[in-house]
Amino acid sequence: MRPTAAEVEEAVALAADLVDAWGSWGPNMTPDATRVAFISDRSGVPQLYIQDIVLDGPQPPARHVPLSDDPVLEVRWAADSRWLACEVATDGGVRTAVWVVRPDGSEARRIAGDAGEHAELGPWTRSGHRFVVTFPGATPGSPTTSYLADPATGRLDWLAEGDHIHVLDVSLEERFLVIRDGERGQQFVVVVDRLTDEDFSALPAGATGSTDVALIRPAPDDHSGPVYVYLASDVGLPRRQLLGLPFGPNGYRGEARTLAARDDAELEWVDADDAGRLLLLVWNVAGSNELELFDTATRERTPIPGLPGLVASDPVLSRDGSSVVLGVQGPLRPRELWHLDTATHHWTRVTAAPDLPARLLVVPTLETFTGVDGLPLTGWLYRAAHTPGPAVVYLHGGPEAQERPMFSPQHQALAAAGLTVFAPNIRGSSGFGREFVHADDLYQRYAAFDDVCSAAQHLVDAGIADRGRIAVTGRSYGGYLTLAMLAFFPGTFAAGIDVCGMSDLMTFFRDSEPWIASVAVSKYGHPERDRALLEHISPLASADRIDVPLMVVHGEHDTNVPIGEALQVVDALRALGRPVEYLELPGEGHDYRRADSRRRLYGRMVRFLAEHLSGPCERTAEPAA
């Protein structure tokens, strides 16, 4: 069934209404857990807010703390409650600056990231007097350097240096550091003793895997080491687990041991109280989240029931272990902040999102299908009212990201326009174990292409979509995949929308920010050693095979996937006389954070896909050689 013009415009209006349903995320609490700082886009641009936490009555209004007109990306509250440190997207782009501000809004100023320089916010020391600022190498081959910043004076004291380092935690007395280094999927973690200038590896050397979270706390009473490192890692393991490593200041080194693991889930996040007695564990179960509390002395795990949404984000455990504040969302609700009492397991809503339009939204279902080699795959299906009919395969970025049942104005608007959305997690996605996330590295990229074809075929085989009325779209790596599918598998898809995707991997490596390009070689290939591979899987060289309508979208200030990636494929297709539209979003980088931009984007997507999937068009797949 073809959507009418009125139905399409109703879907465009729905997208705008859902974009206006602002959310709140990225919470950080004061030590006494009575106030929370967070990010919200209620003004149309992500900004910093502070709010009291009330557990026995209505929540008070949040107070905006002005910093800059640019989007605020992250906030961290000092342990002494005297300062907030924030990361801000300079001009809305990829490069960021670090700001500090008092909780009352005074003394706001930028202390790192001036004059086009990129600075990243790291953790506060446990004392709360200084915090980490990191400057990635500004030129190819130059090192990344981290400093301890004094919020009162702006002074930066050298802390550490390495190829791609991230300081994950600093001990209470600033003696010990936990540092991650390495390329994507091949990171290693070291513990540094600043007093003796010694370091040691926290995990087995040479094993593949990643460690996203690591923190230092006092050891439990029944262990001999005075300090413990807790890690969420899959290095050398089938899935991300909770590991614990005891060590001491006099050369004592224990062994890393698994403290908590699940066969059906990956550990997505871990936080700890100051005493190191209680840990908060957040598990990823096929895209949804489950919470547990972990007693480090007894190793008892307590599941937390009643998470008020399918997906949790940015969880933080209070310093005394009494409270948790985290973001919660689902297909029917934007991101809201909720408080958990760790003793009673009682949930309290801290921030509430606006009411949504009266129109019913789609609750996605988790679909299973197989790749051409038999690999089990899954995806979230947003089924339109009438099937079979037109459909859209949506591909997430990363490729290590994961499609999850979150609040998506884009998916909801497309479904409202009569276009079923299928968002698969093809190989390379996170959340399904170490082997799965590495199953598309380098020459295995071709298998990921096949997975996208399998997703489209699943829609046909299941009677959900009409063959010949399936489009493909995605952002970042998903945008690259969109171009790859149209160029290498002509006839499989009837239209495509590439959002900030790479069109030529060689020019991507040449033009991207050095600190982004240098860590990507482990996923895509090295521009010198693997030049033949990168050239062969770059869609631009096969642009003449793209013969269906294509829309290309890019942010003005994108220096992750530079805007030249969009312009060169648009120019090539226009020179060939092929149907191509181009949408450039001013004031945006790689992520589109302004509400105006997202309204414009989703409206164009709905109209474009409704037009080009409006009628039957039998096509026969013809994979490229």
Token look-up 């079923």 returns 420
Give yes or no for residue 537 having a pLDDT over 70: yes
**For 452, phi and psi rounded to 5 degrees?**
-65, -45
Per-residue pLDDT at 620: 33
Please state, in angstroms and as integers, the Cα–Cα distance from residue 219 to each residue in 228, 271, 273, 537, following that order.
5, 15, 12, 49
Written as one letter, the residue type at 49 is Y
Given a contact cutoff of 8 angstroms between Cβ atoms, the answer to whether 579 and 460 are in contact is: no
| Beta pairing, strands 376-382 & 365-370 | antiparallel
Q: Provide the number of structural domains found in the chain.
A: 1
Reported residue count of the chain is 625
Given a contact cutoff of 8 angstroms between Cβ atoms, the answer to whether 143 and 162 are in contact is: yes
Grouping H, G, I as helix, E, B as strand and the rest as coil, residue 489 is coil
Confidence category of residue 222, pLDDT binned at 50, 70, 90? low
Please state, in angstroms and as integers, the Cα–Cα distance from residue 446 to each residue in 185, 225, 428, 430, 455, following that order.
19, 48, 12, 18, 15
Please state, in angstroms and as integers, the Cα–Cα distance from residue 330 to each residue in 158, 239, 406, following that order.
42, 25, 4
Least confidently predicted of 173-187, 278-292, 470-484, 537-551: 173-187
Per-residue pLDDT at 224: 56
Half-sphere exposure in the Cβ direction for 28 (13 Å, CA): 22
CATH number for the domain that contains residue 476: 3.40.50.1820
CA-wise closest residue to 50 among 31, 245, 39, 297: 39
Please state, in angstroms and as integers, the Cα–Cα distance from residue 184 to each residue in 180, 506, 511, following that order.
11, 18, 19
Give yes or no for residue 88 having a pLDDT over 60: yes
Given a contact cutoff of 8 angstroms between Cβ atoms, the answer to whether 606 and 413 are in contact is: yes
How far, in Å, CA of 340 to CA of 350, rounded? 10
The domain in which residue 464 lies consists of: 372-612
Residue 300 lies in a domain: no
Given a contact cutoff of 8 angstroms between Cβ atoms, the answer to whether 548 and 494 are in contact is: yes
Residue 441 lies in a domain: yes
Residue 219 lies in a domain: no
Residue 28 lies in a domain: no
Token look-up 């991507």 returns 508
Average pLDDT score, the chain: 93
Q: How many CB atoms lie within 10 A of CB 108?
A: 16
**Per-residue model confidence as pLDDT tens digits over 318-327:** 999 999 999 9
Q: Which residues contact 461 (CB under 8 A, 6 or more apart)?
A: none
Per-residue pLDDT at 250: 78
Residue 573 lies in a domain: yes
**Per-residue model confidence as pLDDT tens digits over 419-451:** 999 999 999 999 999 999 999 999 999 999 999
Residue 197 lies in a domain: no
Given a contact cutoff of 8 angstroms between Cβ atoms, the answer to whether 480 and 403 are in contact is: no
Residue 564 lies in a domain: yes
Token look-up 């010694």 returns 198
How far, in Å, CA of 269 to CA of 233, rounded? 10
- Name which residue leads in pLDDT, 186 or 465: 465
Residue 289 lies in a domain: no
How far, in Å, CA of 264 to CA of 404, rounded? 16
